[in-house]
Structure 1
Amino acid sequence: MTRVLFVCHGNICRSPMAEFILKALVAARNLEGSYYIESAAVSAEETGNPIYPPAKRCLTQHGVWFDPQKRARKVVPADYERFDRIICMDVSNLRLIRRIIPEDPEGKIHLMMSYTGVGRDVADPWYTGDFEQSFQDILEGCEAMLGIR
């Protein structure tokens, strides 16, 4: 089983979107038993909060189910042992996760868009308000990770 942890700043926009997009892609291919998928934050400021409403709307518009009980949590050092892939949405997340998990001897920590061969961050809708662009970036990354694109 491949265990995937998606990471963004607050775990209320991009990383939960990635969690549920990948879960939908995996389910559509009958691979649920092959993947365990979660999301978390590099910051504690949103801990306990639900997915941000515009992110929920975007997922709903695309027919992607999400757990309404999902609450933000912060990455902890033990996550390194629990997950096979820890996928950050941007370079800032990557820098901050190194404060929580300073060593990556198994090469588990990656940038989302690295799966696509594009050297850029996933668009951050917190600042742009463009949840659709974030959705498309995440979908592209998830499809590339599964070898669909």
Structure 2
Amino acid sequence: MIRIMFVCHGNICRSPMAEFVMKKIVADNKLADKFLINSSATSTEEIGNGIHRGTKAKLTEMNIPFTSHHAVQITKDDYKNYDYIIAMDSMNLRNLQRIVGFDNEKKIHRLLEFTNYSRDVADPWYTGNFDVTYTDIDNGCRALLEYIKEHNLKIN
């Protein structure tokens, strides 16, 4: 089983959006039974809070199912238990290093590293633009799945 943890600052906008987008993509590819996909935060600011209304609205608009979700913070154990830890931006890469330590196993990546755009996924908490964030996340998740298909024997 391939284990993916998506990470953003608060775990209410970008990382849950990525979690549910990726779950839909792997289901559409008939690979859902080969993946465990979750999301978490690097901060404690939103712990226990649900998905942001803008993320819910965008997922609903795009016909992407989602379940109840409460923000959690990533832990050192999560580093051990996941194959891919996918950050939404550079700040969260730095925060991840503080939380989990050095990435000896090269598990931590920025989502858009897997696309032609090696940049951060904009935080709609600040921009208010859930459309742009969704497009980046959808493109990043599709590229991540292609990367996994090419590099991981667990799904072949």
User: TM class by shorter-chain length?
Assistant: over 0.9
Q: Structure 2: which amino acid aligns with 1:72? A: A
Cα offset for 1:18?
0.1
Alignment of 1:73-88 (within 5 A): 73-88=72-87
Q: Structure 1: which amino acid aligns with 2:130? A: F
Higher helix share: 2
Q: Structure 2: which amino acid aligns with 1:109? A: I
Q: Structure 2: which amino acid aligns with 1:33? A: D
1:55 paired to 2:58: no
Q: What is the aligned length?
A: 147
Give the percent of matched residue pairs that are identical in Structure 1 and Structure 2.
48
> Which residue of structure 2 aligns with residue 145 of structure 1?
144
> Which residue of structure 1 aligns with residue 6 of structure 2?
6
Point out where structure 1 has 5 or more consecutive residues left out of the alignment.
Answer: none
Q: Deviations over 1:73-124 (max 9, x none)?
A: 0011000111000000000010111110111111000000001032210111
After superposing on structure 2, the runs of 4+ consecutive aligned residues of structure 1 that deviate more than 4 Å are: none
Q: Structure 2: which amino acid aligns with 1:25? A: I
When normalised by structure 1's length, the TM-score is 0.96
Q: CA RMSD in A?
A: 1.0
Q: Deviations over 1:57-85 (max 9, x none)?
A: 00000000010x21000011000111000
1:66 paired to 2:98: no
> Which residue of structure 1 aligns with residue 103 of structure 2?
104
